[in-house]
Structure 1
Amino acid sequence: MKLLGALLLATLLTGAAAPWPDEPSRTCFFQMLSGVDSLFCRGDLEVIYPELGDVGCSYIPKCHQYRQRISREWGSPRVRYPQADKNKKYVLMLVDPDVPSRANPKNRFWRHWLVTDIPGANLRTGDVKGHVLTDYVRPTPPPLSGYHRYQLLLHEQPAHEAITLSPEERVSLGSWAMESFVKQFRLGSPVASTQFLTKYHQD
């Protein structure tokens, strides 16, 4: 009993998730981003997946099949921005800038989710409801392509601005000219942004 107590205490002190009952010897560590990658995280934007909670500014761990589940099972996350203005609307983007890999991002950006006209009141509770221009596409890094950054950017939507995708943009999710899109609709700098990193679940 003392040994079990010491193990649990060590788990709490190291910030690791407690082992699951069927995997008593495994400890799941959640590693936060550092360096340049951590600088992308600004404004307390929360990205909440089942069982994982807020994955903003962190690596998705391989343990408990989390990488496989985020790629193959779970739907869109809750995205919460407590500072949202209830009287304004927002635009949310989820993109992968590392296609096909971070070392060779020739097809950046890959558009995984694009929602406009999100009421600020909804963002305060994490309920992303608005005009969906691109349905949510799960993060699916190719095998042996290393870690991919999945970046969420939240922009304040200019009043009375109707935001659309061109026919060419609707045809393809890859090689999206995100910067041109932001400039075209006068979205300015994001009010908040965050990212998480994951890779192919069997790598």
Structure 2
Amino acid sequence: MRKLLLLFAICVGAYRCVLAQEVSKAFLEHEIVSDVISEAPTGLVKVSYPSGKEVSLGNELTPTQVKDKPTVSWDAEPNAFYTLIMTDPDAPSRANPKMREWKHWIVTNIAGSDLTTGETLADYISSAPPEGSGLHRYVFLLYKQPGQVQFDEPKQSNRNPKRGKFQAAEFARKYNLGSPVAGNFYQAQYDDYVPQVYATLTETK
């Protein structure tokens, strides 16, 4: 029995090591390290959309497939609190990112990996890359908080378009969140659903 438990522990450890290498490699190869963060995460954030599509370290999805808020999970530490950020560093395009970054979703003070316990600072907004702007990277970053944190950011509904020039790394520094412990990302380009997203962005406050 002890040998089986030891073998299981070795296998789990090896799997986590390989996974950490895959996550880090993908974040480096897609230049998320440098464009968004300075250090690659080693953990994986699992992201599944109601459309049946999953995020997988740079796979291409469509705005239609990611239009609804996803289910997100990760290996959480007991009694820990987390912040989840989704950001687009390629606004309005990767070639001309003058609005880098565009904030898509922020949930803070998440107990474990139960998103329902968290405080939403920015409601989820689907990918909406402008027509002709090419592929955008949509990055999920998970930060382990030093404890429960009092965030003084204004809350934004999913109708509020004033989300440009956000910086995930600066947000993390402001609240002493450190480097992201886990992450994931996909890529998307324009499709026919995008105008519907723009039509909902009407709130100016």
Q: TM-score, normalised by structure 2?
A: 0.67
Instruction: Give distance in 1, aligned partners of 2:63 and 2:144.
Output: 33
Indicate how the Cα distance of structure 1 residues 110 and 190 shifts in structure 2: closer, same or farther if over 3 A, else same: same
Of 189, 196, 200, the match for 1:199 = 189
Paired residue for 2:49? 49
1:116 aligns with 2:108: yes
| Residue aligned with 2:64, SS | helix
Instruction: Using the TM superposition, give the Cα deviation of residue 34 of structure 1 relative to its aligned residue in structure 2, in angstroms.
Output: 9.2
Any idea what SS the aligned residue of 2:30 has? Answer: helix
Q: 1:147 to 1:42 in 2, by over 3 A?
A: farther
From 185, 188, 193, the equivalent of 2:175 is: 185
CA contact (8 A) 2:47 2:73 kept: yes
Whichever of the two has the greater Rg, that structure is 1
How far off is 1:57 after superposition?
Answer: 1.0
Deviations 1:176-202 (A, max 9, x none): 133221111001000101110010026
Identity of aligned residues (%): 34
Task: Write the letter of the residue equivalent to 1:37.
Answer: H
- Structure 2: which 5+ residue stretches go unaligned? 1-25, 33-39, 193-205
What's the secondary structure of 1:164's corresponding residue? coil
CA drift at 1:109: 0.7
Change (3 A) 1:59 1:38: farther
Q: Is 2:86 the partner of 1:94?
A: yes
Deviation at 1:38, TM superposition (A): 8.6
Given that 1:86 and 1:121 are in contact with CA atoms closer than 8 Å, whether structure 2 keeps it comes out as no
The residue that corresponds to 2:96 in the other structure is 104
Alignment partner of 1:136 is 2:120: no
Task: Name the aligned partner's letter for residue 190 of structure 2.
Answer: Y
Q: CA deviation at 1:69?
A: 1.7
Query: What secondary structure sits across from 1:149 in the alignment?
Result: strand
- For 2:181 and 2:86, locate their aligned partners in 1 and report how far apart those are by CA, in whole Å: 14
Task: In structure 1, list runs of 5 or more residues that go unmatched.
Answer: 1-32, 62-66
Tell me if the contact between 2:87 and 2:102 (Cα under 8 Å) persists in the aligned partners: yes
Equivalent in the alignment of 1:28: none
Give the one of 68, 71, 74 matched to 1:78. Answer: 71
For 1:9, the equivalent position in structure 2 comes to none
- CA distance in structure 2 between the partners assigned to 1:95 and 1:34 by the alignment: 14
Counterpart for residue 146 of structure 1: 134
For the aligned residue pairs, the C-alpha RMSD in angstroms reads 2.7
**Deviates most, 45-54 or 111-120:** 45-54
Aligned positions, number: 157
Could you tell me how far apart the structure 2 residues matched to 1:186 and 1:35 are?
23
What does 1:19-34 correspond to in 2, within 5 Å? none
| Structure 2 letter corresponding to 1:36 | E
In structure 2, the CA distance between the partners of 1:87 and 1:100, relative to structure 1 (3 Å rule), is same
